């Protein structure tokens, strides 16, 4: 595929690279978005799931009689009723086997696991019935494991009786050259770094509506990021031919990874609709959402670092352990910790690294995908290591980063984890961000010059962002490509349908821009269809910073084929040689003279309607498809645990200026600077939106959001947004964003993804900035979130209790 | 997140409201509903009769006179926050209300509802204790008046008996020339406090003469910091902080942990806020 962008652009005023206004906003902003919860079907019944209140227990009995007798209750189902439904597939061979039934049977392994479903005429009655079923459930509690230490203890209670331990996987390649680096280094240190449990938290929770037509075909509306994958799995588990299942995602209010999974509700609600012959719906409420949608990010990293007196990092050993929760989720939430280890070196180059990758089950909500997918956890570790080495050796933090950063002439560069950085602006981004930081730091220092209680610090993060990854590593089943179909109708209008989804990113706008330039028409002439398995071709949806790349690749393949055919038709109509005919601004003409010409309407009309005008022997129709599958993707780890699992790699630098109030530990991000590089930019406004939103979620992880569990019972210590603190507009600081464009040399138009990078920097930046601000106490934070309590605890630990208070 | 079935009634007199409240043991008063309705939706609170007092005659008033401000049980926080007369008589109400929730919450939430709810981390109960507010209560046995200092018994626990209703609260005007400071550490803007302080400070010639100090967000009822009140007198802007810090630590020994903060953090933070308030109050008077 060509990086020669101009050869594919057939519009004289190019749309790619311009902030074409978003098409997606009118509905949501005017209250006319059509979310799953807005879908009303005649006779539709309400489904409510009854969820475990025990973290680990055998279910002895479930008394549903009282609930079934309630006026307005239509049916109550437990696991045994769904015997005919297949078990969730278990495609990944190297992880501990998990038998996940659509409703938990006999045993529950986390608070929130659905074990019964109520169908009623409305949600109120359904919840009344669910309360009665909960009261009628007899549990035999089992001992719980609430964290990694408990789960890995030699005598730990096991979640799965047929496993040897609670360890699901443990990949530990040994590299002798790393041992050698440690032997020759001047010094070593060991530290443990921790990222806390969070979730992607879309504003719209999940929801499923299902309806069966008279002919037996099933339509499922699901708030998912991946409608085709849901279709494949629903059809498989319900034993239906795939063409008889249609999955639609209407307006989706965000996914952030949580909606990449196919959940029990995606199976049970359609099953109920088929069983009862009545439309059924379930809308996740926020209480459910906090325990029944996947969690993420809970990782512990035990690190050994070998370094020399001059600050040179000679080698790193990192053992990364993921808390998988109960592991009962499809697809399994195992991949992020592999991504952590693959990306942990960020934009830095040092000679030796050995990474161990471990997954452990606990009695908590299953872990899964969340925007960032392991990258922020690794970035926290790497930046804290560099700051520690700088401090221990008396090296300047910025100078040490400069020494370690990748330079353009090192591209392509293969990282220790096997990722192949095709291009990037690692060192340049850092320099640019430093320039932008200088005035911000000056501002903050003068703001607090007269306040002896406040310290100001700076934190840095230089990261890489794998984009358009293999989904085989994650699912053990799917690959990593997507399809698009492009059609020109008789009136010359263009229709683009693609397997990528739209969840707020702006993929509809981007698809219209791409097709418009490639076909020489206005974006207004392009209708875009996404998120409907019946109307759009197979694709894996939107996640993994893949939307822009998949759209570019698949739309480009389809439009090139379309233009080839249209040029033949036009040449015939112009009575010219095909090779002489070019397409500019929607008109086919002979190169060098704009007249005579034929437009898309004439070509479209010939193709579909006046087929008598077609060249002899040409098949009618003007619709082409392309399935883009990046050919540089690797899908399996090699013997040393290496893989290049991404089609391309974006990069960026985040720098934050943070003030800390010593007496109370309160912190405030004064300024946040981002220099970002995602290759060729299709729409700068969309990229900026992704960066802003990502950074906001990164700040959530750096300072606020934290799922805490009771260590004795593994019960959640959260039930609402009173306990799970989401930053609001008051907490998210002003951001200054600048861009580099290092086109992906092997990707269509040089486009890279940009969906996740924003989340990566803040944990490392905030921990680094606060440690810098409190350097007089030698504070060196190793965990997120960084809260006022954590700040005070660090000061006390470093200086003895009471120090600093009120000073 | 849908409530269990309940009866709803909307009386127009206090007598009718009391009758409805007395009709069931699990009756509850609905004023702004900002805490009650979520608790019902979570099915954490069992409510058989919900008595909506928003149309009860005479309860929506906010009355000011030079001696203080009287706020009726149905008066919203926004109404009090926006009232300039109130702010000129009891400035602490505006200062405290700025910390309460967000605009949408204050538009519904009531001052008296916050007192009745008695969240340990709420600002208004602490202000009421610091200001020496008097709470009017009506019940089956008639009317009574309870001093705010006697009203708050523990977390979500007040001196209100079954079937009783707060009808109004009176905040007396603070001593002339005093400063009312409401300061807190909260995790996010508008959140309940992790640690908070209401200080009504009288200062003279750059030194603190006397102060009423109430800590909140400590886990229990608003806490009078009596040792600190003694320690703060005579304080000037450049005074060393140790004695006052120790006094606050002594006053807050009952603080407890939750997911947002540890007990020791809360105590340290209230101490830091107290030192900050003392410095501010003494500095304010110096400048004046």
- How do residues B158-184 score in pLDDT, each as one tens digit? 999 999 999 999 999 999 989 999 999
The pair of three-digit structure tokens given for residue A660, joined into one six-digit string: 């800390």
B123 close to B198: Cβ distance less than 8 angstroms: yes
CATH class of B62-172: alpha beta
Domain membership of residue A678 (yes or no) is: yes
More confident residue, A6 or A58: A58
Boundaries of every domain in chain B: 7-51, 62-172, 179-287
Quote the pLDDT of residue B239.
84
Furthest C-alpha separation in chain A: 91
Residue A785: is the preceding peptide bond cis (ω within 30°)?
Answer: yes
The upper half-sphere exposure of residue B64, i.e. CA atoms within 13 Å in the direction of its Cβ, equals 14
More confident residue, B46 or A555: A555
Q: Which residues of B touch A287 (CB under 8 A)?
A: 1, 42
Task: Report, in angstroms and rounded to the nearest whole number, the Rg of chain B calculated over CA atoms.
Answer: 19
Asked if A787 reaches chain B (Cβ–Cβ under 8 Å), the answer is: yes
**Nearest alpha-carbon partner for A222 in A232, A235, A207, A240:** A207
A617 close to A543: Cβ distance less than 8 angstroms: no
CA–chain centroid gap for A89, Å, is: 22
Q: What sign does the dihedral A101-A107-A113-A119 (CA atoms) show?
A: positive
Closest-CA residue of B relative to A793 is B265
Quote the pLDDT of residue B204.
83
A292: enclosing H helix or E strand: helix A286-292
Specify the fold of B7-51: 3.30.43
Q: Do A611 and A683 sit in the same domain of this protein? A: no
Starting from the edge strand earliest in sequence, which strands make up the sheet with A280-283, in order?
A: A73-78, A114-120, A45-51, A280-283, A207-212, A218-222, A245-248
Helix axes of A600-608 and A547-574: crossing angle, nearest 10 degrees: 80
Quote the pLDDT of residue A800.
65
Q: Do A129 and A248 sit in the same domain of this protein? A: yes
Closest-CA residue of A relative to B238 is A807
Q: What is the pLDDT of residues A716-755, one digit of tens each?
A: 999 999 999 999 999 999 999 999 999 999 999 999 999 9
Q: Do A331 and A270 sit in the same domain of this protein? A: no
Mean pLDDT of the region A789-795: 97
A628, A649, A673 — which closes off a domain? Answer: A628
Closest to A666 (Cβ–Cβ): which among B185, B259, B262? B185
Question: What is the full DSSP assignment across A218-247?
Answer: EEEEE--S-HHHHHHHHHHHHT--GGGEEE
Q: Which residues of B touch A717 (CB under 8 A)?
A: 259
B94 close to B111: Cβ distance less than 8 angstroms: no
Domain membership of residue A169 (yes or no) is: no
Q: Do A436 and A511 sit in the same domain of this protein? A: no
Number of domains in chain A: 3
Quote the pLDDT of residue A798.
84
Mean pLDDT of the region A345-368: 97
A49 close to A288: Cβ distance less than 8 angstroms: yes
Task: Report, in angstroms and rounded to the nearest whole number, the Rg of chain A calculated over CA atoms.
Answer: 28
Q: Which residues of A touch B122 (CB under 8 A)?
A: none
Domain membership of residue A583 (yes or no) is: yes
The 3-state DSSP class for residue B71 equals strand
Q: Do B268 and A792 touch (CB under 8 A)?
A: yes
Q: Do A693 and A737 sit in the same domain of this protein? A: yes
Share the mean pLDDT of chain B: 95
pLDDT grade for A320, boundaries at 50, 70 and 90? very high
A39-62 in b/e form (b: 16+ CB < 10 A) is bebeebbbbbbbbbebbbbebeeb
* Strand B62-65 to B68-72 pairing: antiparallel
d(CA A319, CA A285): 37
Judged by average pLDDT, the poorest of A80-84, A188-192, A594-598, B165-169 is A594-598
Quote the pLDDT of residue A805.
41
Asked if A731 reaches chain B (Cβ–Cβ under 8 Å), the answer is: yes
A598, A628, A658 — which closes off a domain? Answer: A628
For residue A802, pLDDT beyond 50: no
Domain extent, residue A518, equals: 5-33+481-628
Quote the pLDDT of residue A642.
86
Quote the pLDDT of residue B113.
98
Which residues, numbered 135 to 154 in chain B, qualify as contacts with chain A under a Cβ-Cβ cut-off of 8 Å?
none
Q: What is the DSSP letter of A578?
A: G
For residue B152, pLDDT beyond 60: yes
Q: Which residues of B touch A799 (CB under 8 A)?
A: none
Mean pLDDT of the region A109-138: 98
Q: Do A452 and A507 sit in the same domain of this protein? A: no
Q: Do A508 and A535 sit in the same domain of this protein? A: yes
Closest-CA residue of A relative to B183 is A664
For residue A801, pLDDT beyond 70: no
Quote the pLDDT of residue A311.
98
Share the mean pLDDT of chain A: 96
| Residue B80, phi-psi category: left (phi > 0), alpha (psi -120 to 50), beta (remainder) | alpha
The pair of three-digit structure tokens given for residue B47, joined into one six-digit string: 């409510």
Q: Do A498 and A516 sit in the same domain of this protein? A: yes
The pair of three-digit structure tokens given for residue B117, joined into one six-digit string: 């709810």
List Cβ neighbours of A154 (8 Å cut-off, separation of 6 or more): none
Asked if A289 reaches chain B (Cβ–Cβ under 8 Å), the answer is: no
Mean pLDDT of the region A239-250: 98
**Closest CA of chain B from A102, distance in Å:** 23
Q: Do A334 and A438 sit in the same domain of this protein? A: yes
List Cβ neighbours of A619 (8 Å cut-off, separation of 6 or more): none
Quote the pLDDT of residue B286.
45
pLDDT grade for A804, boundaries at 50, 70 and 90? very low
To which residue do tokens 């204790």 refer?
A: B129
Question: What is the full DSSP assignment across A607-669?
Answer: HHT-GGGSPTTPPP--EEEEEE--TT---S--TTS----EEEEEEEEEEEEEEEETTT--EEE
Judged by average pLDDT, the poorest of A452-466, A510-524, B48-62, B202-216 is B202-216
What CATH code would you report for B179-287? 3.30.390.50
Quote the pLDDT of residue B287.
43
Residue B210: Cβ within 10 Å count: 16
Q: What sign does the dihedral B251-B257-B261-B264 (CA atoms) show?
A: positive
A119 close to A272: Cβ distance less than 8 angstroms: yes
Closest-CA residue of A relative to B277 is A806
Q: Do A47 and A105 sit in the same domain of this protein? A: yes
Q: Do A664 and B269 touch (CB under 8 A)?
A: yes
Asked if A282 reaches chain B (Cβ–Cβ under 8 Å), the answer is: no
Mean pLDDT of the region A689-695: 97
Closest-CA residue of A relative to B242 is A806
Q: Do A616 and A664 sit in the same domain of this protein? A: no
For residue A641, pLDDT beyond 80: no
**Closest CA of chain B from A704, distance in Å:** 8
Asked if A613 reaches chain B (Cβ–Cβ under 8 Å), the answer is: no
To which residue do tokens 């309407």 refer?
A: A601
Distances (CA, A) of B123 to A726, B73, B160: 22, 17, 19
Q: What is the pLDDT of residues A66-108, one digit of tens each?
A: 999 999 999 999 999 999 999 999 999 999 999 999 999 999 9
Asked if B194 reaches chain A (Cβ–Cβ under 8 Å), the answer is: yes
CA-based angle A140:A145:A149, to the nearest 5? 160
CATH number at residue A562: 3.30.365.10
Closest to A131 (Cβ–Cβ): which among B43, B261, B262? B43
pLDDT grade for A3, boundaries at 50, 70 and 90? low
A189: enclosing H helix or E strand: strand A187-195
* Strand A45-51 to A280-283 pairing: parallel
Q: Do A54 and A110 sit in the same domain of this protein? A: yes
**Closest CA of chain B from A250, distance in Å:** 24
Domain membership of residue A171 (yes or no) is: no
A628, A651, A682 — which closes off a domain? Answer: A628
With 0.95 as the threshold, say if the pTM is over it.
yes
Mean pLDDT of the region A658-679: 98
For residue A806, pLDDT beyond 50: no
């Amino acid at each position: 595929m060509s990086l020669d962008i101009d050869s594919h652009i057939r519009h004289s005023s190019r749309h790619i690279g311009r902030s074409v206004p978003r098409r997606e906003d009118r509905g949501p902003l005017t209250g006319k978005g059509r979310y799953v919860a807005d879908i009303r079907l005649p006779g539709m019944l309400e489904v409510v799931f009854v969820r475990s209140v025990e973290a680990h227990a055998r279910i002895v009995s479930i008394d549903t009689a009282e609930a079934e007798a309630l006026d307005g209750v239509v049916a109550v189902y437990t696991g045994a009723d769904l015997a005919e439904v297949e078990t969730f597939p278990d495609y990944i061979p190297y992880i501990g086997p998990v038998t996940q039934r659509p409703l938990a049977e006999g045993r529950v392994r986390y608070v929130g696991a659905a074990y019964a479903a109520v169908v009623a005429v409305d949600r109120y009655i359904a919840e009344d019935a669910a309360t009665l079923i909960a009261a009628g459930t007899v549990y035999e509690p089992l001992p719980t494991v609430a964290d990694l230490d408990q789960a890995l203890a030699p005598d730990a209670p096991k979640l799965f009786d047929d496993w040897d331990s609670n360890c699901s996987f443990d990949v530990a390649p040994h590299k002798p050259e790393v041992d050698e680096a440690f032997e020759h280094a001047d010094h070593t240190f060991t530290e443990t770094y921790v990222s806390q449990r969070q979730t992607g938290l879309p504003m719209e929770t999940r929801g499923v509506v299902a309806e069966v037509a008279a002919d037996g075909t099933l339509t499922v509306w699901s708030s998912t990021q991946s409608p085709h994958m849901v279709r494949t799995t629903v059809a498989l588990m319900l034993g239906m031919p795939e063409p008889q299942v249609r999955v639609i995602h209407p307006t989706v209010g965000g996914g952030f990874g949580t909606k990449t999974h196919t959940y029990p509700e995606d199976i049970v609600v359609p099953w109920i609709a088929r069983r009862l012959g009545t439309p059924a719906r379930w809308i996740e409420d926020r209480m459910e959402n906090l325990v029944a949608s996947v969690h993420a990010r809970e990782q512990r990293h035990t690190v050994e670092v070998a370094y020399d007196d001059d600050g040179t990092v000679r080698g790193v050993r990192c053992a990364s352990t993921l808390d998988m929760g109960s592991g009962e989720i499809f697809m399994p939430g195992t991949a992020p910790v592999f991504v952590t280890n693959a990306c942990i070196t960020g934009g830095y180059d040092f000679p030796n690294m050995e990474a161990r990758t471990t997954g452990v089950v606990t009695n908590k909500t299953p872990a899964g995908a969340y925007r960032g997918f392991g990258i922020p956890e690794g970035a926290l570790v790497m930046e804290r290591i560099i700051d520690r080495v700088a401090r221990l050796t008396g090296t300047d933090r910025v100078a040490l980063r400069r020494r370690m950063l990748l330079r353009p002439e090192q591209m392509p560069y293969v990282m220790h984890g096997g990722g192949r950085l095709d291009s990037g602006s690692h060192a340049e981004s850092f320099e640019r961000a430093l320039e932008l930081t200088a005035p911000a730091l000056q501002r903050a220092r003068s703001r607090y010059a007269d306040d002896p209680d406040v310290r100001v610090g700076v934190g840095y993060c230089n990261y890489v962002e794998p984009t358009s990854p293999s989904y085989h590593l994650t699912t053990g089943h799917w690959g990593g490509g997507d399809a698009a179909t492009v059609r020109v109708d008789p009136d010359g209008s263009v229709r683009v349908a693609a397997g990528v989804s739209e969840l707020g990113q702006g993929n509809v706008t981007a698809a219209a821009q791409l097709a418009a330039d490639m076909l020489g028409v206005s974006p207004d002439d392009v209708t875009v269809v996404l998120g409907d398995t019946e109307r759009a071709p197979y694709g894996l949806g939107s996640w993994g910073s893949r939307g822009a790349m998949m759209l570019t690749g698949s739309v480009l393949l389809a439009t090139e084929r379309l233009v080839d055919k249209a040029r033949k038709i036009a040449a015939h109509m112009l009575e010219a040689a095909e090779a002489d005919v070019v397409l500019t601004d929607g008109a086919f003409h002979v190169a060098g003279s704009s007249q005579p010409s034929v437009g898309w309407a004439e070509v479209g009309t010939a193709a579909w309607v006046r087929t008598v005008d077609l060249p002899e022997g040409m098949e009618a129709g003007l619709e082409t498809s392309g399935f883009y599958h990046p050919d540089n993707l690797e899908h399996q780890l090699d013997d040393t645990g290496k893989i290049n699992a991404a089609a391309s790699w974006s990069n960026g630098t985040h720098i934050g200026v943070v003030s800390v109030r010593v007496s109370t530990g309160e912190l405030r991000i004064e300024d946040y600077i981002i220099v970002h590089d995602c290759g060729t930019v299709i729409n700068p406004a969309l990229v900026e939106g992704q960066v802003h939103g990502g950074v906001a979620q990164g700040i959530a992880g750096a300072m606020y959001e934290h799922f805490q569990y009771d260590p004795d019972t593994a019960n959640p210590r959260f039930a609402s947004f009173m306990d799970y603190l989401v930053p609001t507009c008051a907490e998210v600081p002003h951001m200054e964003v600048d861009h580099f464009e290092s086109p992906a040399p092997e990707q269509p138009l040089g486009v890279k993804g940009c969906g996740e990078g924003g989340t990566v920097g803040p944990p490392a930046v905030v921990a680094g900035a606060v440690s810098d601000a409190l350097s007089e106490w030698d504070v060196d934070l190793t965990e997120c979130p960084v809260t006022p309590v954590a700040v005070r605890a660090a000061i006390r630990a470093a200086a003895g209790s009471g120090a600093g208070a009120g000073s | 997140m849908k409530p269990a079935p309940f009866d709803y009634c909307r009386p127009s007199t206090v007598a009718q409201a009391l009758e409805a409240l007395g009709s069931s043991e699990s009756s509850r008063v609905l004023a702004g509903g900002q805490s009650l309705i979520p608790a019902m939706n979570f099915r954490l609170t069992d409510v058989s009769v919900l008595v909506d007092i928003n149309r009860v005659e005479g309860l929506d008033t906010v009355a000011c006179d030079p001696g203080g401000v009287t706020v009726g049980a149905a008066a919203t926080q926004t109404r009090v926050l926006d009232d300039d007369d109130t702010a000129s008589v009891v400035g602490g109400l505006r200062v405290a209300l700025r910390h309460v929730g967000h605009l949408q919450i204050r538009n519904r939430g009531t001052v008296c509802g916050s007192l009745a709810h008695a969240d340990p981390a709420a600002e208004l109960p602490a202000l009421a204790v610091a200001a020496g507010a008097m709470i009017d209560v009506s019940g089956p046995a008639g009317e009574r008046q309870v001093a705010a200092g006697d009203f708050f018994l523990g977390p979500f626990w007040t001196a209100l008996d079954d079937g009783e209703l707060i009808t109004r609260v009176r905040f007396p005007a603070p001593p002339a020339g005093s400063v009312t400071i409401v300061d807190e550490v909260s995790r996010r803007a508008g959140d309940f406090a992790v640690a908070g302080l209401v200080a009504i400070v009288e200062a003279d010639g750059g030194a603190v003469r006397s102060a009423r100090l109430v800590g909140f967000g400590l886990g229990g009822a608003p806490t009078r910091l009596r040792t600190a009140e003694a320690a703060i007198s005579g304080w000037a802007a450049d005074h060393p902080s140790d004695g006052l810090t120790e006094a606050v630590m002594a006053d807050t020994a009952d603080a407890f942990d939750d997911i947002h903060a540890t007990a020791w953090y809360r105590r340290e933070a209230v101490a830091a806020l107290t030192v900050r308030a003392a410095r501010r109050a003494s500095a304010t008077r110096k400048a004046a």
